[in-house]
Amino acid sequence: MVRRASPTPEPLPANLSAGQIKAAIPKLERRLRELEAVSIDCWDDAIKNELDALQMKVEETLSSVFGPNTLELKRYEVVKFWLHVPMWYNRPSTPQELVDGYTEAISKAISKLKTAVSLLEEQLDDMGESPGGQALRAYEGLDLHSEIDRAAGRLYQDGHHANAIENAVKALNGLVRLRSGIDDKDGTSLMELVFSPKNPILKFNDLADESDHNEQRGFMMMFSGAVAGLRNPRAHKLIDDDAERALEFIAFVSLLAKLLDEAVKA
């Protein structure tokens, strides 16, 4: 009696966890860098062997990342590079045909790995596990000063991080003007006038001794630094702030706004 071969099981989704995705992305990026570094200027057996070995590394990496018989492994499969070389019955492939075929194969492999990395990063975002997603969750858990949150919150949540930072500092500048009654100055000159340790308009302590004066001076410098270091650069040039750094800057500005709430007229 002839035994029938078992049917090949249908491929299944990899269903990677957030931790597995985080481990997978650097592995795929490593193979991407190796593929992108390839430049075929001539052809010989040594070059062919090196490129075939690279294809095997890519194949093994994809298998280790997604697991055997998965939809993702099938979707991003990188076939043997030599399969892209035209084969002839009456003559061997020329060196140029080999170069062109392998170049095409590597280009397709790069495209597939880039797509895989991009989609894995999207999965992390959807899970809230990417750096941006984690920062967004952290932002939502912060007890920000209400005026700073009003000025920066929507921009930050929409991914406009530099604009969110700039608006946060603008709001702080407006609060200082409002609390001090000074409306003809702006930026560092406003902060240095309002919080001057020698003759402040608003003070953070009783200014009873040198330690109090040092604290007043330090806070004045923090307010001035927020304007000079955070607002002004973003008002004059394009800056691409990542989510985590923007979160820290906005939290710092919020802290200054809360300190301002506690300051009193001198």
Whole-number pLDDT of residue 207:
94
Whole-number pLDDT of residue 120:
94
Whole-number pLDDT of residue 232:
78
Whole-number pLDDT of residue 249:
93
Contact status, residue 165 vs residue 249, Cβ threshold 8 Å: yes
Q: Where are the alpha helices (DSSP H) in 128-209?
A: 131-141, 146-157, 161-180, 187-194
Place of tokens 């200014």: 207
H or E segment to which residue 264 belongs: strand 264-265
H or E segment to which residue 202 belongs: strand 202-203
Whole-number pLDDT of residue 131:
63
User: Which residue, among 230, 257, 223, has the nearest Cα to 149 in the 3D structure?
Assistant: 257
For residues 254 and 148, give the distance between their C-alpha atoms in angstroms, rounded to a whole number. Answer: 6
Whole-number pLDDT of residue 212:
95
Place of tokens 């892209």: 84
Q: What is the pTM of this model?
A: 0.56
For residues 235 and 13, give the distance between their C-alpha atoms in angstroms, rounded to a whole number. Answer: 47
53 CB neighbour count, 10 Å cutoff: 10
For residues 232 and 69, give the distance between their C-alpha atoms in angstroms, rounded to a whole number. Answer: 54
User: Which residue, among 246, 212, 64, 234, has the nearest Cα to 138 in the 3D structure?
Assistant: 246
Q: In this structure, what token pair is assigned to residue 117?
A: 């990395």
What angle, rounded to 10 degrees, do the helices at 210-225 and 243-262 form? 140
Sign (positive or negative) of CA dihedral 253, 256, 260, 262: positive
Given a cut of 50, the residues of the chain with pLDDT beneath it are: none
